[in-house]
Structure 1
């Protein structure tokens, strides 16, 4: 049939694009390629701490606040990796970002500051006491024509974690969220 040849080219082109996208999606993370990480390994830190907390299974006094209305419960977190999801998604060790952050190293802290306004993670501060991470602070910002969001994330191992998020969506309005988990 006369329509078969153009359809065949379309199928081959689409199949080629699909194979390329699968190959890109299966690309190993920077750690698996043997390359050294330029910045603090946030993903590894939270992965290790998630495993530690899963073994300890601590009770958490968790407070969730949405637009001023709060609810507090004592809970056991079943999946710490998921609980720390916003923290790990703020990792700055992507190959494309290798020169995108200014690094300030102090005696007790590492401070990473975004050089470009389009980067979501604006600031990452790692405080250490005796070589151990004592506090992680992350500031994320996204601003565009339809949506503005600011996230402040704080984690002090063994003490608490805090997620504070302000969203402004043009059509839907403003929402404020606060999640605080205190270790008992």
Structure 2
């Protein structure tokens, strides 16, 4: 009898916790901003299929290593771009949009958002380049990221970190796609 009461209490507790969980609905409407995540997924799949040779250099605090290689997982290679997507339901009014010629610029209205600026340059309907500026800061850590992607040409990832106890680190990744 004791175990039945205990099992009933645990089950009711779990049901209460589950019942109090807020509804999280997918954002199913049109994207308010450029669909960066969708674009990067599609372009990553295209790059996997074409399997180009890449002249890649990686620098950490000035020490540089350069190699020519084929990237097996483009989704992982370009994940910093994908993770900078600004299309979240909670952020629907968090960015102001400006259009200058063939460029669309999204600027953060809120200081707490990681992605501060997203610039999409198009030639006609085709994306010519993407430029992203990210900034993250808390009591122990500060990071600045500058990301540039030019389809079928190159990608550049520049990251500067300042960690309270460990000091600063500078990373630079340049990948030039060889046709």
TM-score, with length taken from structure 2: 0.90
Equivalent of residue 115 in structure 2, options 105, 110, 121: 121
Q: 2:104 matched to 1:95?
A: no
Structure 2 portions without partners, runs of 5+: none
Q: Where does residue 140 of structure 2 map in the other structure?
A: 146
For 1:130-141, what aligned pairs fall within 5 Å after superposition? 130-141=124-135
Q: Where does residue 13 of structure 2 map in the other structure?
A: 13
Q: Where does residue 57 of structure 1 map in the other structure?
A: 51
Number of residue pairs the alignment of both structures matches: 178
Distance 1:22 1:63 in 2: 45
Aligned-partner SS, 2:159: strand
Q: Where does residue 68 of structure 2 map in the other structure?
A: 74
Residues 169 and 21 of structure 1: is their aligned pair in 2 closer, same or farther, counting only changes over 3 Å?
farther
Q: Where does residue 182 of structure 1 map in the other structure?
A: 176
Distance 1:174 1:15 in 2: 47
Equivalent of residue 167 in structure 1, options 158, 161, 168: 161
Q: CA RMSD in A?
A: 2.2
Residues 113 and 71 of structure 1: is their aligned pair in 2 closer, same or farther, counting only changes over 3 Å?
same
